[in-house]
Structure 1
Amino acid sequence: MTDGGTTILVVEDNPDDRDLLARAFRKAGIAMPLRFAVNGEEAVASLEGAHGGALGASPAVILLDLKLPGRSGFEVLEWIKAHPVLRRVPVIILTSSRESIDLKRAYDLGANSYLVKPARSDDLLRMVEQIHAYWLGLNQAATLS
């Protein structure tokens, strides 16, 4: 069970993908609220605010796209994993990239998981259910304080 935050941070610039994810989480009956950031700068600002207490606790898990405008997902991942507290938050890369170089770089920077966005909504629903079951159910999260 997670010992971290009470939200899931989704960093995704594509509004259609954000809507599909939100719909999949609702359809899966996952009550944990989603918090969205539409680019890397917004993600870092949100996480800095959460760490400072302004926005509440750090998220329980972060779903991070790689191809973001401005600060890339790789840069956000590197920033998170360099942070003394946030580095313990599981970061799941959720991207359309199947490129081996992206996969290797994400893991080298400390990603906890690398998932390719499915094309079909029922496959996305199954992925969301598995994310919930493993990362927010079975996984023993580190204490963030």
Structure 2
Amino acid sequence: MTDDQVRVINVLLVEDDPGDVLMTREAFDEYLHNRLDVVTDGAAALSYLRNEPPYADAPRPDLILLDLNLPRRDGREVLAEVKADPDLAYIPVIVLTTSQAEEDVLRSYQLHANAYVTKPVDFEGFIEAIKQIDHFFVSVVQLPGGSAIS
């Protein structure tokens, strides 16, 4: 990939807090060049990932940003199901949550999360965290096939 080519990845944000969704969208719109899709609960996340209606045409995400405390199905359940499904298990999942509880960190890694990031409370810190996650997964690591080059 040359310097003038940017690898575009599909990111699925699973987040029920409208403020956090807005800040993440702003970070993507202003600083990042990746596609961001958002679902607001765990059941919708699993439907999206399995291409069930109304997400039949949803792209397979290259990266999942997952909150833990979600309605309908919590993030731990979503993480367990994603990592237990051979068609989804390869997708990196970053737990992005306000919880700093050691049991949440430990449980997330036991469920095979790829990283655990505590959301900074201030806007600048939040934007910087999203930019660092993006930089790592776009510029540093190699993701499994399917990422487009534009």
Could you state the TM-score of these two structures normalised by the residue count of structure 2? 0.85
1:49 partner SS: coil
Identity of aligned residues (%): 36
1:95 matches 2:97:
yes
Moved over 4 A (4+): none
Give the structure with higher Rg (CA): 2
In structure 1, stretches of 5+ residues that fail to align are none
Higher relative contact order (Cα pairs below 8 Å, separated by 6+ residues):
1
1:75 Cα shift? 0.2
Q: Secondary structure at the match of 1:105?
A: helix
CA contact under 8 A between 2:14 and 2:42: conserved in structure 1? yes
Kindly tell me the number of residue pairs found equivalent between the two proteins: 138
TM-score normalized with structure 1 length: 0.88
Q: From the two aligned structures, give the one with the greater helix fraction.
A: 1
Q: Answer yes or no: is the 8 Å Cα contact 1:95–1:116 preserved in 2.
A: yes
Structure 1 vs Structure 2 CA RMSD:
1.9
Equivalent residue for 1:122, pick from 113, 121, 124: 124
Give the SS at the match of 2:33.
coil
Please, which of 16, 23, 26 is the counterpart of residue 26 of structure 2? 23
Determine the C-alpha separation between the residues in 2 that align with 1:18 and 1:59.
Answer: 17
Structure 2 unmatched runs, 5+: 2-7
Q: Does 1:58 align with 2:23?
A: no
Tell me the distance in 2 between the aligned counterparts of 1:139 and 1:85. Answer: 20
Distance 2:145 2:26 in 1: 30
- Report the counterpart of residue 46 of structure 2 in structure 1: 44
